[in-house]
């Protein structure tokens, strides 16, 4: 058994999950990491509430799950990754995926599963996992054809200057390095939207604020250039909330990386406002990185 943490991807057979499998297989090859594909029965195998589930139902559910894994393995092989490890998870999908993430290099999911609620941009399982995941989580929206053909497109990282954000910066540099890509480090002054009239007010000491925020960004990036000298870094200081800019720039990025919690770091807030909004709006694969314990 490999001691290298695997890239784990969940599938339910949906088009979004198929995209996730393709991306995870390519990422596994890029990182020379094992690939593990999992699918869930989405319910305890013996009882549901007060009712015993017939064994015929369980057997049929397992047959469908095995077929999903066979198809996912075929998709991975098309991407160049042969014979991935596969597993059927026997409990509830979100709980099993959170448990899987404890041993993952990263966990990869599609944004929407096989749900009748087409208006929902992020499925209930993905949203639940995003709030409690233990590893970096990659979420793929319904992306246009050709989005994954330029692996050397820039890697974008949101930098908020907090300690919580350091793990996200680490992941972003590693992703840029393995892709041979430029890293764009985006720092916004605040998570609160500034009124347009305030942003254009000439009497306020904007230049002093610009200088202070540029210094804050430089401090957050200090030392990473020595660890990853091959990575070219472009810096962007934004006079607004980060979501709008990150969403816009994501259209031309290979991945966007953010911390799962913002600079406030409230213990009870498991997803920060920026990462939560990007789950719905990011136009390329989004990597949210939890705070290291």
Spell out the per-residue pLDDT of the chain, length 293, in tens: 456 899 999 999 988 899 999 999 999 999 999 999 999 886 555 555 566 667 787 788 889 999 999 999 999 999 999 999 999 998 788 889 999 999 999 999 988 654 433 333 346 788 788 888 899 999 997 766 666 656 679 999 999 888 888 999 999 999 999 999 999 999 987 554 555 544 555 555 556 677 888 888 999 999 999 999 999 999 999 877 788 899 999 989 999 999 986 554 434 334 567 888 888 889 899 999 998 75
Q: What is the pLDDT of residue 197?
A: 47
Inter-residue contact 256 to 284 (CB < 8 Å): yes
Residues 102, 212, single domain; the answer is no
Q: How many domains does the chain have?
A: 2
Q: Are residues 107 and 181 in the same domain?
A: no
Last residue of a domain, one of 140, 163, 181: 140
* Tens digits of residue pLDDT in 45-71: 555 556 666 778 778 888 999 999 999
Q: Are residues 81 and 166 in the same domain?
A: no
In a domain, 149, yes or no: no
Same domain, 130 and 185: no
Return the pLDDT at 222. 93
**pLDDT tens digits for range 168-201:** 999 999 999 999 999 999 998 755 455 554 455 5
Here the CATH number for the domain that contains residue 107 is 3.40.50.620
121/171 same-domain check: no
Same domain, 96 and 159: no
* 146 found inside a domain: no
Residue 285: its pLDDT value, please? 93
Last residue of a domain, one of 91, 116, 140: 140
Q: Are 100 and 211 contained in the same domain?
A: no
pTM score of the predicted model: 0.85
Is residue 187 one of the residues assigned to a domain?
yes
Residue 170 domain boundaries = 155-289
In a domain, 236, yes or no: yes
Within-domain flag for 1: no
């Amino acid at each position: 058994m490999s001691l290298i943490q695997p890239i784990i991807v969940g599938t339910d057979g949906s088009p979004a999950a198929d995209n996730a499998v393709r991306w995870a297989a390519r990422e596994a090859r890029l990182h020379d990491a094992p690939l593990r594909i999992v699918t869930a029965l989405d319910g305890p195998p013996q009882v549901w509430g007060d009712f015993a589930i017939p064994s015929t139902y369980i057997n049929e559910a397992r047959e469908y799950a095995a077929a999903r894994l066979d198809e996912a393995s075929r998709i991975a092989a098309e991407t160049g990754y042969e014979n991935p490890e596969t597993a059927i998870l026997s409990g509830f999908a979100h709980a099993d995926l959170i448990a899987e993430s404890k041993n993952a290099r990263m966990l990869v999911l599609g944004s929407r599963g096989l749900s009748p609620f087409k208006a929902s941009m992020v499925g209930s399982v993905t949203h639940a996992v995003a709030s409690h995941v233990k590893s970096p989580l990659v979420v793929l929206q319904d992306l246009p054809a050709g989005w994954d053909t330029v692996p050397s497109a820039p890697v974008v990282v949101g930098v908020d200057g907090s300690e919580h954000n350091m793990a996200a910066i680490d992941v972003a540099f590693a992703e840029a390095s393995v892709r041979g890509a430029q890293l764009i480090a985006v720092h916004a002054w605040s998570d609160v939207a500034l009124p347009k009239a305030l942003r254009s007010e000439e009497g306020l000491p904007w230049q002093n604020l610009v200088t202070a925020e540029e210094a804050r960004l430089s401090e957050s990036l200090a030392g990473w250039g020595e660890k990853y000298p091959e990575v070219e870094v472009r810096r962007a200081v934004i006079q607004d909330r980060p979501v709008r800019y990150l969403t816009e720039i994501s259209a031309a990025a290979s991945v966007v990386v953010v911390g799962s919690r913002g600079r406030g770091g409230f213990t009870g807030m498991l997803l920060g406002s920026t990462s939560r909004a990007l789950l719905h709006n990011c136009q390329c694969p989004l990597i949210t990185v939890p705070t290291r314990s």
